[in-house]
A and B are shown apart, each in its own frame.
Chain A
Amino acid sequence: METVMQLFLTALPAGAIYGALGVAYVIVHRMTGMVNFAVGDIAVVGAFGAVVASAVLPPIGAILVGAISAGVVSVLMYFLAIHPLRKQGLMVQTIVTLGVGIAVRSALQLVFGTGPYQFAPITAGPAIEIAGGVIYRQSIWVVVITVAAYIGLAYFFNRTLTGKALSACAVNRYAAGIVGINLVVMATIAFALSGAVAGVVLAAQVPSSFITIGAGFALGLKGFIAAILGGFHNIGLTLVGGFLIAIVETLAAVSVFTEHAPTIVFSLLIVLLILRPQGLTRKLVAERV
């Protein structure tokens, strides 16, 4: 019982991060149909934005700065690299995001080096014990921020006019234009939201462990698995997917396969794509139409 609870408490914040990155994929994919390979590195931008801001701001302010910096980089990427290629195929747009990811990662490395960074937690104090398991106070904040982001996004997409317009673009671009929705504005919003969601959650995680430049790649792949589980469409299921990945990862780490935990998780990506590309949803978005 004790280990089950600990498993759950370890997987919860990790799953929140994977889920948030998955959501970042989903938002951009719904709007543009493309997969943004730079999501992991943009999240790292958010974490480092927070690290820098933590020198002058309290942790909560630093995390907000992290969200904003990731959002800004994401929008810049749209205007500098993706918008100019809008007439090219999806393949070219996808390759270019890979290039952006590498450029962002190595630029950060030139500035910050490869070492780990950290800043103070929002609420100081020892880890909390819940039903025999232990969880950091900051990890609770990670989960809270993720849930808040989810509620905010759900409200945005389902209740606000702009959010509905964003969904409308995904459903029928021609008709969206007909009713006067500007596709460039909507894409900008989608990229900003995508970057901010990934950035804020990863920034919130920094105090409970640390952040390195190289973290983006693995996080990006795990976020992608979460997005597959969410059918590349459903934000709630993507978060659930993130949590499931974290469970698998934690289980593998405590089992006999300790050193193979990442291998098992990434193999899951391939297995899912082959056997169940629709993830936890019923409809297949990934299938070619």
Chain B
Amino acid sequence: MRVTWRTAVGPSLWIATVIAVSQTAGPYLSGLGASVAILALLGLGMILVTGYAGQFSLAVGAFYGIGAYGSALLTINFGWPGLLAVAASAAIAATVSQVLGRPLFRLRGHFLAMGTLALTEVFYLLVTNLKITNGASGLGGIAPLNLFGIDLIRTDQFFLQNWLIVGVVLWGCLRLRAGREGRALKAIRGNEVAAAAAGINIASSKTRIFTASAIISSIGGSLYAHQVMYVNPEPFGIATAIDVLVIAVLGGMRSPWGAIVGAIALEALNKGIEVLLPGVLGAGAVGAGQALILGILLVVILIVRPDGIGGAIGAVANYFRRQQRVNEPEPAASRTSEKEQPVGMAALRLVHDENRTGIAPGQGQLVLEAIGLTKRFGGVTAVDDVSLQIFSGEVLAIIGPNGAGKSTLVNLLSGNLPPTEGSVFIGGEATTGKPAYLVANHGLSRTFQTAALFAEMDVASTVKVGAHLRGSVGMLRSALPTVGALREERRLDAEVWAVLERLDLGHLADREANTLSLGQQKQIEIARALVGRPSILLLDEPCAGLNKAEKKNLMLLLRQLGAEGLAVLVIEHDMEFVMSSADRVQVLNFGATLRVGTPADIQSDPSVIDAYLGVAHEECVPAVVLGPEKGSQ
């Protein structure tokens, strides 16, 4: 983000509007508006967890209640000043969310939903039955908040205060979305495996956003307590949690604006029902009727428009934006497909290597070493006692027939699978059994056999996720950007652009990555891996979907990367590509190493030819009957 006068336009407009409305609306409307603001605040908290991180939580009732009861008890019983009570309650909410979040986020999503639903219910039951909270009768006489010596007691003050706070939180959410942490969360929602491979600590990221949401909900609760000056259990049960869920679904989860749109829409809807329903079903039906419509609304919106009203508005805006773009000249297509070099891959390599100035292949330092790696799945041994070494400045290709265990081997090296036996060292440090995000910290980047990109993310951001470990800005600094955070974003932007240009992907930067061709997706993955500046790069079938010219460019890229001192491990079926890009080739068969050697050695090795093309029958056992006695496979 560049800090220009434009940056200030949005916030100024927001502040001006809020002040104007608070001064013009009457006490009834501003009171209503103030309570809608609290709902919007809760909606923002839910969008952070459910929309940003893709985790379904219903804890909002409990955290909202912790804020309200915290403020009430601390001011009434201990005479704390209001603001201190607000802060203390938020701290309690944060602590509870930390304790609960870590273990629950290990489980699959809906277990979190049920756990948090139970949390809200437990909180509700506690405040209903405890003496200190005065049970169902509740606590009255809560002091109003006092700001600069002024007691905030009028509804126009509530309106002003609440919507300004909503504005701050909304701004923070929008900033967060554009920053490092927000990108990490979006990546987690889009593809957890790929996010971990980029070095993102998934459990930690989820827990932190859960905590942020808890703090926001708690502040909402405190505002409620200090403005209504009375709390009872009723507003903090499951019903509220579901209201907030409806707000988020109605408004749309993808953008924090959804919370504002949803809160206003829900309130309007409820008021409409209160007016219309008594005439249809009688006055007693209002509560159940509202709930019925809420429930049906939830179902219908998810089916018709899963991205809510906000999503619909966004889609319309995008449509016009695209209409505009049609009129612009189409950027020049990929250079590579235009001019095809008439030279063969092997020849191209020779030319490249003659001009090469870096480390000579095989002369570098040992970057990665695997010793005796074995992986069994049930009765099947996928990888059987494989050892390998990769040195800086070389390209090592792993080849072998289908089912030879190549992809499993890569998953063992990158920490996506724990080995049954054996160990892995990167730069001399043991990484055996460490999770993928920690292995990434040791300087290992990888791509996946089927391109693992993030849903609904453009190419530039997708690649930027790969630079996660090259940044250090945390959640708070992402939301309230400091000069350092902005500088870091700019540095990462520059690095992303450099890599995109190098791979000739610059013209795709703002396209949604998942909609591109298979070949382009594979190249984006390589870009994402490279921007992390790894010391070792693992590529799993990078040629799939690439045309001949693109393969040649990729081959040259691998040679260059090698020359720059990177250690590259590549799994590939395209033999022409393998033979011209690799310095050494390791052949796997039946999960074990069959042969290691130079490309020329491998190509002329009869055992390798047999492994690929199979052995004619006469040369093995003349098996006609499958007797049980011939046991081993």
Q: How far is the CB of B198 from chain A (nearest CB, A)?
A: 18
Q: How far is the CB of A229 from chain B (nearest CB, A)?
A: 13
**B54 at the A/B interface (Cβ < 8 Å)?**
yes
The reply to whether B110 and A273 form a contact with Cβ atoms under 8 Å apart is: no
Cα distance, A106 to B122, chains bound together (Å): 23
The reply to whether B106 and A287 form a contact with Cβ atoms under 8 Å apart is: yes
Cα distance, A255 to B455, chains bound together (Å): 52
**A151 at the A/B interface (Cβ < 8 Å)?**
no
Contacts of A91 in B (CB 8 A): 50, 54-56, 109-110
Contacts of B121 in A (CB 8 A): 221, 266
Asked if A98 meets B245 with Cβ closer than 8 Å, knowing A81-B299, A84-B303, A270-B122, the reply is: yes
**B114 at the A/B interface (Cβ < 8 Å)?**
yes
The reply to whether B289 and A95 form a contact with Cβ atoms under 8 Å apart is: no
Asked if A98 meets B242 with Cβ closer than 8 Å, knowing A85-B303, A224-B114, the reply is: yes
**B288 at the A/B interface (Cβ < 8 Å)?**
yes
**A2 at the A/B interface (Cβ < 8 Å)?**
no
Q: Nearest chain-A residue to B238 (Cβ)?
A: A217
Cα distance, A89 to B298, chains bound together (Å): 16
Q: How far is the CB of A69 from chain B (nearest CB, A)?
A: 18
**A1 at the A/B interface (Cβ < 8 Å)?**
no
Cα distance, A100 to B288, chains bound together (Å): 14
Asked if A286 meets B306 with Cβ closer than 8 Å, knowing A95-B298, A273-B115, the reply is: no
**A267 at the A/B interface (Cβ < 8 Å)?**
yes
The reply to whether A273 and B111 form a contact with Cβ atoms under 8 Å apart is: yes
**A101 at the A/B interface (Cβ < 8 Å)?**
yes
1/0 contact trace for B96-117 toward A, CB 8 Å? 0000100110111111011101
**A92 at the A/B interface (Cβ < 8 Å)?**
yes
Contacts of A248 in B (CB 8 A): none
**B596 at the A/B interface (Cβ < 8 Å)?**
no
The reply to whether B302 and A92 form a contact with Cβ atoms under 8 Å apart is: yes
**A236 at the A/B interface (Cβ < 8 Å)?**
no
Cα distance, A99 to B125, chains bound together (Å): 23
Interface centre among B54, B109, B249 (most CB of A within 10 A): B109
Cα distance, A84 to B306, chains bound together (Å): 12
Interface locus among A116-124, A132-140, A170-178, A256-264: A256-264
The reply to whether A99 and B107 form a contact with Cβ atoms under 8 Å apart is: no
Q: Specify which of A90, A95, A107 is in contact with B302 (CB 8 Å cutoff).
A: A95
Contacts of B292 in A (CB 8 A): 102-103, 106-107, 110
**B265 at the A/B interface (Cβ < 8 Å)?**
no
Contacts of A81 in B (CB 8 A): 299, 303
The reply to whether B54 and A89 form a contact with Cβ atoms under 8 Å apart is: yes
Total interface residues on A, using CB and 8 Å? Answer: 45
Within 8 A of A (CB), among B141-191: none
The reply to whether B54 and A263 form a contact with Cβ atoms under 8 Å apart is: no
Cα distance, A270 to B96, chains bound together (Å): 12
Q: Specify which of A37, A85, A110, A277 is in contact with B111 (CB 8 Å cutoff).
A: A277
**A193 at the A/B interface (Cβ < 8 Å)?**
no
**A288 at the A/B interface (Cβ < 8 Å)?**
yes
The reply to whether B111 and A286 form a contact with Cβ atoms under 8 Å apart is: yes
Q: How far is the CB of B252 from chain A (nearest CB, A)?
A: 13
Q: Specify which of B50, B104, B288 is in contact with A110 (CB 8 Å cutoff).
A: B288
Cα distance, A217 to B121, chains bound together (Å): 10
Cα distance, A277 to B110, chains bound together (Å): 13
**B291 at the A/B interface (Cβ < 8 Å)?**
yes
Cα distance, A98 to B290, chains bound together (Å): 15
The reply to whether A99 and B109 form a contact with Cβ atoms under 8 Å apart is: no
Q: Specify which of B122, B285, B295 is in contact with A104 (CB 8 Å cutoff).
A: B295
Q: Specify which of A88, A100, A267, A286 is in contact with B295 (CB 8 Å cutoff).
A: A100
The reply to whether B114 and A35 form a contact with Cβ atoms under 8 Å apart is: yes
Total interface residues on B, using CB and 8 Å? Answer: 45
Contacts of A274 in B (CB 8 A): 100, 103-104, 115
Contacts of B109 in A (CB 8 A): 90-91, 94
Interface centre among B122, B281, B297 (most CB of A within 10 A): B122
Within 8 A of A (CB), among B222-276: 238, 242, 245, 249
The reply to whether A99 and B108 form a contact with Cβ atoms under 8 Å apart is: no
Q: Nearest chain-B residue to A34 (Cβ)?
A: B110
**B76 at the A/B interface (Cβ < 8 Å)?**
no
Cα distance, A34 to B192, chains bound together (Å): 19
The reply to whether B108 and A286 form a contact with Cβ atoms under 8 Å apart is: yes
Q: Specify which of A84, A266, A287 is in contact with B122 (CB 8 Å cutoff).
A: A266
Within 8 A of B (CB), among A259-289: 259-260, 262-263, 266-267, 269-270, 273-275, 277, 286-288
**A105 at the A/B interface (Cβ < 8 Å)?**
yes
Interface centre among A95, A101, A104, A263 (most CB of B within 10 A): A95
**A182 at the A/B interface (Cβ < 8 Å)?**
no
Asked if A90 meets B114 with Cβ closer than 8 Å, knowing A106-B288, A274-B100, the reply is: no
Asked if A102 meets B107 with Cβ closer than 8 Å, knowing A260-B125, A263-B129, A273-B114, the reply is: no
Cα distance, A277 to B55, chains bound together (Å): 18
Q: How far is the CB of B289 from chain A (nearest CB, A)?
A: 7
**A109 at the A/B interface (Cβ < 8 Å)?**
yes
The reply to whether B125 and A266 form a contact with Cβ atoms under 8 Å apart is: yes
Contacts of A273 in B (CB 8 A): 103-104, 107, 111, 114-115
Q: Specify which of A85, A95, A263, A277 is in contact with B249 (CB 8 Å cutoff).
A: A95
The reply to whether A94 and B289 form a contact with Cβ atoms under 8 Å apart is: no
The reply to whether B118 and A35 form a contact with Cβ atoms under 8 Å apart is: no
**B16 at the A/B interface (Cβ < 8 Å)?**
no
The reply to whether B111 and A35 form a contact with Cβ atoms under 8 Å apart is: yes
**A253 at the A/B interface (Cβ < 8 Å)?**
no
Within 8 A of B (CB), among A29-75: 34-35, 37
Q: Nearest chain-B residue to A232 (Cβ)?
A: B111
**B32 at the A/B interface (Cβ < 8 Å)?**
no
Contacts of B298 in A (CB 8 A): 95-96, 98-99, 102-103
The reply to whether B299 and A103 form a contact with Cβ atoms under 8 Å apart is: yes
Q: Specify which of B56, B118, B129, B302 is in contact with A269 (CB 8 Å cutoff).
A: B118
The reply to whether B119 and A99 form a contact with Cβ atoms under 8 Å apart is: no
Q: How far is the CB of B106 from chain A (nearest CB, A)?
A: 7
Asked if A85 meets B289 with Cβ closer than 8 Å, knowing A262-B125, A266-B118, A274-B103, the reply is: no
Cα distance, A104 to B103, chains bound together (Å): 33
Given contacts A80-B299, A94-B110, A105-B295, 13 further A-B contacts (CB under 8 A): A81-B299, A90-B110, A94-B109, A99-B294, A99-B295, A103-B291, A106-B289, A106-B292, A109-B288, A274-B104, A274-B115, A288-B106, A288-B108
When A and B form their complex, which 4 residue pairs have the shortest distance between CB atoms, in order from nearest? A99-B298, A103-B295, A102-B295, A106-B291
15 A-B pairs (CB sep. < 8 Å):
A88-B302, A91-B54, A91-B109, A92-B306, A99-B297, A99-B299, A106-B288, A107-B292, A260-B125, A267-B122, A270-B100, A273-B104, A273-B115, A286-B107, A287-B107
